[in-house]
C-alpha cells in the first residue's frame, strides 16, 4: 500500500521546494478493507524528513539485482506499510530457505566420477552406469576423447530451470551460468589438483551452456 511519494526532482509545489513529500490518504471501506486515496493536483506537499531519505536509500539497493522476482518483491514492500529495508539481505532472510540453497549446491558442487581415465559429470549422483555407457557409445562418433568429454559434461541452464526460466532475462540466465562456471572451476581444482580442466560457457546468450573437459 502506498503511503507517500517523495519527489526528488522537479520544481516547487505550493512554495515547498524539492525534495518534498506528498502523503496518500486512506479510507476504510464498510467491509473493513482499506483503499488508498490518490492525491489530487491541489494537494499541498510537506518538506522531506530524514526518514523519507531512508526510504530512498532502501529503494536504491534494488539496482544491485535487476531480475523480475526481486523487483516484484521490492514493489510489494514499498506499496505496503512494512518498514522492511528493500535490500538483498532482507530478501534472502524473508524469501529464501536454506533447503533451496542445499538443493542448488548439487549443481554448484556436482558429483563427478572417473571412467576409463575420463572425468564425467553426474549431477544426480546415481547415473554412473548409464553415463558411462553413453560415453562409450558416443566416443565412436566423435573426433576425439576431449570433444566427447565436453559433450557429456554439458549443463543447459534453460533445461535446469525448464518450468521457471520463461520469465528470466538473458542477463539472469548468463549470471547463473557464470556462477556455475566459477564453482565448477573451484570444485575441479580442489578435487583433482593434478589435472588441468577447461570450464567454459557455450551456446547463445539466451540459452547458455556450461561444460568442462580436460586439457591435453
**Can you tell me whether residue 22 is helix, strand or coil?**
strand
User: Are 139 and 53 members of one domain?
Assistant: no
Interval 125-157: pLDDT, tens: 899 999 999 999 888 888 888 999 999 999 999
What pLDDT digit, counting tens, does each position of 102-131 carry?
Answer: 999 999 999 999 999 999 999 988 999 999
* Residue in this structure with the C-alpha cell 533447503, named with its chain if needed: 99
What's the mean pLDDT in 184-200? 96
User: For position 45, what pLDDT does the model report?
Assistant: 74
Judged by average pLDDT, the poorest of 12-16, 157-161, 203-207 is 12-16
What's the domain count of the chain? 2
What is the per-residue pLDDT for 86?
83
Taking the C-alpha atoms of residue 19 and residue 4, their distance in angstroms, rounded to an integer, is 13
Q: Which long-range contacts (CB under 8 A, 24 or more apart) does 48-51 make?
A: 48/6, 48/19, 48/20, 48/21, 49/21
**Domain residues for 169?**
101-214
* Contact (Cβ atoms closer than 8 angstroms) between residue 160 and residue 173: no
pLDDT greater than 90 at residue 209: yes
Residue 1 has pLDDT above 50, yes or no: no
**Does 194 lie in the same domain as 141?**
yes
Do 9 and 86 share a domain, yes or no? Answer: yes
Query: Do 159 and 68 share a structural domain?
Result: no
Distance CA 74, CA 88 (A): 10
One domain for residues 15 and 62: yes
Share of the chain above pLDDT 90, in %: 43
10 Å CB burial of residue 165 (0-12, 13-18, 19+) is middle
User: Are 110 and 184 part of one and the same domain?
Assistant: yes
33-71 pLDDT tens trace = 666 566 655 667 777 665 555 444 444 444 456 788 988
What confidence tier does 31 reach under pLDDT thresholds 50, 70, 90? confident
Which of 4-18, 35-49, 173-187 is most confident?
Answer: 173-187
Residues 69 and 142 in one domain: no
User: How far is it, in rounded angstroms, from Cα 69 to Cα 24?
Assistant: 26
Q: Are residues 84 and 160 in the same domain?
A: no
Residues 6+ apart with CB under 8 A from 1: 26, 34, 36, 79, 80, 81
Q: pLDDT (tens digit, 9 = 90+) per residue, 70-86?
A: 889 988 988 888 778 88
Asked which of 57, 72, 96 is the last residue of a domain, the reply is 96
Output the pTM of the full model: 0.68
Q: Are residues 40 and 118 in the same domain?
A: no
pLDDT confidence tier of residue 13, bands split at 50, 70 and 90: low
Residue 138 is predicted with a pLDDT of 84
**DSSP helix/strand/coil, 185:** helix
Residue where a domain terminates, one of 46, 70, 96: 96
Boundary-marking domain end, from 61, 96, 131: 96
Is the pLDDT at 159 greater than 60, yes or no?
yes
Pairing of strands 25-28, 46-47: unpaired
One domain, residues 91 and 109: no
Q: What is the pLDDT of residue 48?
A: 66
Whether 180 and 109 map to the same domain: the answer is yes
Q: What is the pLDDT of residue 57?
A: 45
Please give the Cα distance from 64 to 60 (Å, whole number).
8
Quick one: pLDDT band at residue 5, thresholds 50, 70, 90?
A: low
Residue 59 and residue 138 share a domain: no
Amino acid at each position: 500500500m502506498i503511503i507517500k511519494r517523495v519527489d526528488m526532482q522537479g520544481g516547487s509545489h505550493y512554495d515547498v521546494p524539492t525534495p518534498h513529500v506528498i502523503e496518500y490518504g486512506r479510507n476504510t471501506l464498510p467491509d473493513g478493507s482499506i483503499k488508498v486515496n490518490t492525491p489530487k493536483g491541489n494537494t499541498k506537499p510537506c518538506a522531506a524528513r530524514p526518514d523519507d531519505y531512508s526510504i530512498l536509500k532502501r529503494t536504491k539497493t534494488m539496482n544491485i539485482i535487476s531480475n523480475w522476482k526481486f523487483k516484484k518483491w521490492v514493489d510489494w514492500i514499498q506499496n505496503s506499510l512494512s518498514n522492511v529495508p528493500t535490500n538483498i539481505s532482507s530478501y534472502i532472510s524473508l524469501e529464501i530457505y536454506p533447503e533451496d540453497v542445499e538443493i542448488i549446491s548439487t549443481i554448484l558442487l556436482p558429483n563427478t566420477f572417473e571412467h576409463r581415465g575420463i572425468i564425467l559429470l553426474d549431477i544426480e549422483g546415481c547415473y554412473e552406469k548409464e553415463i558411462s555407457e553413453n560415453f562409450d557409445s558416443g566416443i565412436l562418433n566423435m573426433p576425439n576423447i576431449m570433444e566427447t568429454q565436453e559433450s557429456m559434461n554439458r549443463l543447459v541452464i534453460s533445461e535446469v530451470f525448464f518450468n521457471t526460466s520463461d520469465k528470466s532475462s538473458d542477463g539472469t540466465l548468463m549470471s547463473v551460468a557464470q556462477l556455475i562456471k566459477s564453482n565448477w572451476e573451484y570444485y575441479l581444482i580442489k578435487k583433482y589438483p593434478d589435472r588441468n580442466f577447461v570450464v567454459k560457457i557455450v551456446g547463445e546468450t539466451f540459452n547458455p551452456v556450461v561444460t568442462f573437459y580436460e586439457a591435453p
